[in-house]
Amino acid sequence: MPRPIEALVHADALTHNLARARAAAPDARVWAVVKAAAYGHGIARAYEALRGADGFALLDLAEAQLLRELGWRGPILLLEGAFEPRDLELCSRLNLWHVVHHVAQIDWLAMHKTQAPHRVFLKMNSGMNRLGFTPTAYRGAWARLDALPQVDEIALMTHFADADGERGIARQLQTFVEATRDLPGERCLSNSAATLRHAADAQVRADWVRAGIMLYGSAPDFPSHDVAHWDLRPTMTLRSRLIATQQLAAGDCVGYGSTYTATGPMRIGIVACGYADGYPRHAPGLAERSTPVLVNGRRTRLVGRVSMDMLAVDLSALPDAEVGAEVTLWGHGPQGSTLPIDDVAHAAGTIGYELMCALAPRVPVRLADAAPAAR
């Protein structure tokens, strides 16, 4: 029997969440952001469920190629654009649209030989200071691109740093709107957080939205809002089983570093899941602060440190849980139970994005049956 850990991808939930993106931005076309192997879900696995999107946005040219091999003939956008001049050859060959965010990328285009002119997304650095032309340099970059025979349409794009938080998008939006006021072209502004939280702002309505994390059933602004608030469904389950139990007496400790000490008689279970599976090692299992886990669909908590291949859970309230019991690290558990990935991420001091993307290659992943069922 293989080690009992596995991850499930819920295709119906991906499709549901994509519909939520559409509903939140009814006048826009939706890029399904599938970078980082569709946030750890696997592009090939997510593709059928997300092919109702208007296009796929990603970074990696190999992933763009994979989408073409899967049969996708619609738009594909490279969010970081070309990394070197010869990337443009693949863009020409596979009809990839690409972001232009620095001067060298314009130089490469000017030297590029192509039959079909490229569609580009010109990125403005409106305040995040990651990628893009400053508002002052933007117009000059636009004019240069506009004059190139290698370039067809130029869409205008920026990215918000605080769409999920208190600061919001007003400042960056104002910068973008002012600097692009008289430029023609489609607009592409919002990520998931801006799409969900700032939909009422008329200025943020654009031709395209870039939906990432919301497609994968994690709330971009947790804990301000959770997935239930945004009506998003979990798309990934990580589950395993108990492979041992231990009976502790007062004073007994658990795991490396003996960070958890039993205060009285207590039963614990050992789960076949550790940080080498992608479970966060920094998830706390302390008396005063712990991380939620489901055993047989019932919520309990981590005890002690996460080790490479195992972690321990409190079975005090679960006298029936024996070796073989189903353990849900996040996602769907038995009997309709769920453990939102955001609850686990928050307890571990990180975000759902990181947990999904960190799922380790040694964990077998498969598409779940339509309804999340018990094994």
Is the distance from CB of 374 to CB of 334 less than 8 angstroms?
Answer: yes
Q: In the complex with ligand PLP, which residue's Cβ is closer, 191 or 328?
A: 191
Q: Report if residue 125 touches ligand PLP, rule: CB under 6 A.
A: no
Q: If binding is defined by CB under 6 A, does position 206 make contact with ligand PLP?
A: no
285 within 8 A of 268, measured Cβ to Cβ: no
- Nearest approach in angstroms of CB 366 to ligand PLP is 24
Binding mask 302-341 for ligand PLP (x = CB under 6 A): ----------------------------------------
Q: Which of 20, 101, 112, 210 binds ligand PLP (CB under 6 A)?
A: 210
The helix or strand, by DSSP H or E, that contains position 64, with its residue range, turns out to be: helix 61-69
Contact with ligand PLP (CB under 6 A) among 13, 34, 79, 368: 79
Q: Which of 53, 77, 90, 213 binds ligand PLP (CB under 6 A)?
A: 213
> How many Cβ atoms from other residues are within 10 Å of residue 365's Cβ?
17
Whether 256 is a known active-site residue: answer yes
Q: Is 113 a catalytic residue?
A: no
DSSP 216: G
Nearest approach, Cβ of residue 269 and ligand PLP (Å):
34
- Nearest distance, CB of residue 216 and ligand PLP, angstroms: 8
Our CA dihedral for 108, 112, 114, 120, rounded to 10 degrees, sits at 10
Q: Does 120 bind ligand PLP (CB under 6 A)?
A: no
Cα–Cα dist 311/324, whole Å: 15
Any contact of residue 141 with ligand PLP (CB under 6 A)?
no
Applying CB under 6 A, does 40 fall inside the site for ligand PLP?
A: no
Helical pair 103-111 and 135-147, crossing angle rounded to 10 deg:
0
- Written as one string, the DSSP assignment of 229-252 is HHT----EEEEEEEEEEEEE-TT-
**What is the sign of the dihedral through the CA atoms of 108, 110, 112 and 115?**
positive
Q: Which of 35, 123, 138, 216 is catalytic?
A: 35
Q: Mind telling me the catalytic residues?
A: 35, 256
Binding stretches for ligand PLP (CB under 6 A):
33, 35, 79, 159, 191-193, 210-213, 220
